Structure 1
């Protein structure tokens, strides 16, 4: 595949823009980071929306701070995916979805919404009641591009695997493919199957098996995503991505292994492996460009 085609069909970015100090000049203010980030990467996963739904005005501000061609993958609010434990600050589920829609539609109108990512929790197994929830979600999010990521392996076990993928195709879900530790039913296998002809998401969570099972422990969020992909692992993913592009027009790739400052470095390594132009960064790259061979 030629470089021009790769540049058109693959977009690589990070989860969030605030936690990657190596990509900013020293002393960069928080309010200036998106403008700098979006000059260096073409896409970002907006993960703060998982914790609180951004106001439409805040979305407009982010639209104005980023280039016209920049894209956002917006993570669905935790109350919409069943993560929230305790009170949800909305009178009913439909109101919650509507408030989220009003915010996401600002990005849609600006041509910057790539997808709304619904990542469901480890206790969201393959059951009829959960299938009904997915159908209702599709209905309430009609008109918006939506992506689906599971955290319970029952969706991809045995014959259920093909049924899940077909369900996603029939219902219009973009597949968010995971690279994550394989540590029991609370993780999903790497299923290299697009469900949309237009686009596929790949999210790199790292392979820290012990950290993946650290929920409830102090600083568990930092431990879970503490992992640096090595050259061989990224070279394997180069081949996987090229294979995915045989069945989908575009791949959006997000590095979520943020804890140790590895996400940005790994993103640049993968870009280099794919022969993509690298963005200018403050200071020399901390990785060895000659690690990769075709």
Structure 2
């Protein structure tokens, strides 16, 4: 049984500003990653969602972390169906983007040659982590407007095909994927394609949230992402920090011990990642969860 516990991001703005996790004088990008990796065995890269990652940064991450450290990397936002402003594309590709007259571009708007170049650059950025054995999975976080309809399913399967042979994980935000009608077909699609199913812990009774399904669809890995349970700020929050401002109680974390250990019997590895990124809340919760699960 291999369970790794960590957080989503080590550079969150509120985390750094809080001064509550990093030691005094730990102010450079290198120092922060080295310190984080001395405390936790895994981290989720959040910056790759907002802008195309680079191979040079990946090489630095490999160098600055110990052997066995793991990075789960979020896919670039365009790939997952999110709206993407021109400024988030690589600068030398922006002139090749179509003039739609709108602020945001979507995957369907992008010319095929540009898409090919974006996929190529994304793969190149992952390569140093992959070669070093430090790439855990690539996380595709699909937004709530990507619903379980044929057109969206076709794009989801397209992403699965494009990511081969990297181990890839899907997190859905619309409830239709794991509602009564589509639950079994969604899980079957993930199993057939070797996609890692992401088990979501989030507020109950809110919109823009997929059902929590404790299933492992890949024999290699299962992922549990904990977003906090702040129902009042889940929808309509002005910032991610506000949305995920929630600290799990020790009792809530202990209640998760049994299902996490159960899922660990169905997959070779389990990644438990706290995405309740507000100040050092995620780091404190992750530390507590490691003690509860009795893992390093």
Under TM normalisation by the shorter chain, which class is it?
Answer: 0.7 to 0.9
* Contact in 2 for aligned 1:15/1:255 (Cα 8 Å): yes
- 1:205 matched to 2:227: yes
SS of the residue 1:143 aligns to: coil
SS of the residue 2:43 aligns to: strand
SS of the residue 1:78 aligns to: coil
Moved beyond 6 Å, runs of 4+: none
Say how many residue pairs are matched. Answer: 267
Partner of 1:75: 74
- CA-CA distance at 1:246 after TM superposition: 2.1
Partner of 1:292: none
* Contact in 2 for aligned 1:182/1:188 (Cα 8 Å): no
- CA-CA distance at 1:121 after TM superposition: 0.5
Q: Distance in 2 between matches of 1:13 and 1:190?
A: 20
SS of the residue 1:79 aligns to: coil
Q: Distance in 1 between matches of 2:85 and 2:70?
A: 32
5+ long unaligned stretches in structure 1: 278-294
* Contact in 1 for aligned 2:9/2:46 (Cα 8 Å): yes
* Contact in 2 for aligned 1:227/1:260 (Cα 8 Å): no
SS of the residue 2:59 aligns to: helix
Partner of 1:133: 155
- 1:147 matched to 2:173: no
Partner of 2:109: none
Q: Distance in 2 between matches of 1:231 and 1:112?
A: 30
* Contact in 2 for aligned 1:18/1:30 (Cα 8 Å): no
Partner of 2:24: 26
Q: Deviations over 1:5-61 (max 9, x none)?
A: 5xxx11001111123443321221132110111111111000011111221111101
Q: Distance in 2 between matches of 1:223 and 1:58?
A: 28
Alignment of 1:74-113 (within 5 A): 74-87=73-86, 89=89, 90=93, 91=96, 92-113=114-135
Q: What TM-score, normalized to structure 1?
A: 0.87
Partner of 2:64: 65
Partner of 2:52: 53
Partner of 1:234: 253
The structure 2 residue matched to 1:163, chosen from 185, 191, 200, is: 185
- 1:196 matched to 2:218: yes
* Contact in 2 for aligned 1:76/1:116 (Cα 8 Å): yes
Q: Distance in 1 between matches of 2:11 and 2:138?
A: 20
Q: Distance in 1 between matches of 2:212 and 2:251?
A: 17
Q: Distance in 2 between matches of 1:276 and 1:22?
A: 23
- CA-CA distance at 1:182 after TM superposition: 2.9
Q: Distance in 2 between matches of 1:52 and 1:161?
A: 32
* Contact in 1 for aligned 2:20/2:279 (Cα 8 Å): no
* Contact in 2 for aligned 1:204/1:255 (Cα 8 Å): yes
Q: Which fold has the larger relative contact order, with Cα–Cα distance below 8 Å and residues 6 or more apart in sequence? A: 2
Partner of 1:12: 5
Partner of 2:106: none
Q: Distance in 2 between matches of 1:191 and 1:62?
A: 32
Alignment of 1:175-194 (within 5 A): 175-194=197-216
- CA-CA distance at 1:183 after TM superposition: 3.9
